Structure 1
């Protein structure tokens, strides 16, 4: 079973670059399933339904994952997240109780051609502004609660800041899931690894967005944070037409759920 995965699609340049490269990548890899993180798809500040529909009309993506920006446009996205046919999931470990409700779900099971894939979205507590439940404990609970008897593969989008957490989660879940990949930091890492019990990991799958940018943001709108220590001001998406599209292809043994191979994808081009 082949799963084509894309990291954070960032803003207008990211959307257009992704759409430009999408068909060729599908023809090249013939994936069974496609996953894309779209939490930055709308100007780099969360998704809106208009841009999700744009992707739906032009692509056949099975699951949209997200992260800490999922609720940046809360009133636009909340109804879409709760729809039965929604392709989008949000971090599963937001705190929920009788006083507080978060729209959407933290996982999705998709089925095609007799193959079933479980996709889980989880977020770190370390260096992230949102206060969430321990991701290690939450995903452990989920794997006990979800019926895995006829699942052929399990993919985890771990939205995080640190590199060490991916490896720690890799050891914690080794042999329990097929593949864990990082999103959020937007820079593809060169550390793909299959763990001893055949769980694959990749610290960050990278972004689709403007190449000459500060992880998608225009340098002129962000430089004061580095040069003057001032955290105010509005970060603007970079609109330079040079782009990068990043992702990976993961091959999974559909009988054992084990990761067989990880191939990184990184394409540069101009719109």
Structure 2
């Protein structure tokens, strides 16, 4: 019985039409078409195959921009922290000065101090307080000057940081160039086969068109009312409304655009 089943299976396999694709063959064809579509349409794949040198240059430029942006960010953060410390110290000195001025005023209002002033006798306590206030004012002036310099440096760094190109946009611009890189004649013959074109969506057709010749677009269908005719043998559809293009665009599953007559 087992031998009979084997013979029947072999016979069925032998009778199978030679041109009929198997599931394995169909899968291989699908994979091959997807690979071709990726080669034709994927800007990453295009750059890896044709533009390694420029790709490396762009990567180096992006890396440099990111490094500079990080350095500027660290500089701004560090100087901002230092500025905060100096402003805090200036506030403390201002409060200390106000305190010492109050002490000085109270001392000057003291009866003993008035008498010394009247007889032009130097008050040691008053002199010490005045000297201390002078030192505080000098230190405050130094901190104010330093804070102003820090603010200017922070503004300069922030301005430079804002002028750095956006790495994401740099990468997008590079890959946008890859989307229009012309196909070689050998590639056209190898990859622009009917079975490949039949699998392209409308968006993929447009993307492929940009790699061929985006400045040329032939007449493929009609859209709108045809109200005139320039050739006697090309008058089909005259005085009629045609909906060829929008119907194709509505049907996203349509694979080929047939030539209109």
> Shared fold (TM-score greater than 0.5)?
no
- Indicate the TM-score class for this superposition, using the shorter chain for normalisation: under 0.3
More strand by share: 1
Larger Rg: 2
More helix by share: 2
TM-score (norm 2): 0.18
TM-score (norm 1): 0.18
